[in-house]
Amino acid sequence: EVHHLDVQLYAVLALGSLSSSPVVISEFPSVENGAGVRALVNLLQPSQDDTAKEAAALALSKLALNEQCAQLVFSLGGVGYASAMLGSPREPLQREALSLLSKLATQSNRVRRSIGETSGCIALMVGVLSRASSMEVKSAAITCLYEVCKDTPSTREAALNNGCTAPPS
């Protein structure tokens, strides 16, 4: 018996694989006025299964290389959903959320500022960095903090205030 959630998960995993293609990255956000991006962002909601959230975040982090897609993810509340995923005890979910947030932060100063201003997001990133046992997750946290904090003094200050130490000068 095939369950709806299994089909949905396999479709998202397939999309994640296809998202490595520059053609898919450039065309996907405009298909049906962003319906696919909207569906992926909806899978990031807290009520969704963690496996679906992880797969959706992976696909969106690849698609977010396209500025139109990144702006759509941002406008649909993807930053808040990805930030909430940082509070999960599951490191693979944290890693994909960090990857998505760092890709979104590279697209515009507005998105970067929004990530920094999202309630508790910086504290969650610093928390993941300090608690993660996997070097892969720690690396993703460092990359995300770098992307979110660069060129944004208030965000750097928030990271320092939440326990992220400055490198020696």
**What pLDDT digit, counting tens, does each position of 28-56 carry?**
788 888 888 898 899 899 988 898 899 99
Q: Residue 139 to residues 25, 88, 121, 143, 151: CA-CA distances in angstroms?
A: 24, 17, 17, 6, 20
Would you say the pTM of this structure is higher than 0.85? yes
Residues 65-74 pLDDT 10s: 888 899 999 9
pLDDT band at residue 4 using 50, 70 and 90 as cut-offs? low
Q: Is there a contact between 121 and 87 (Cβ–Cβ < 8 Å)? A: no
How far is Cα 22 from Cα 156, in angstroms, rounded to an integer? 33
108-139 in b/e form (b: 16+ CB < 10 A) is eeebbbbbbebeebbbbbbbbbeebeeeebbe
Segment 150-164 shows an average pLDDT of 86
Mean pLDDT is lowest, of 1-15, 32-46, 57-71, for 1-15
Mean pLDDT is lowest, of 5-19, 99-113, 116-130, for 5-19
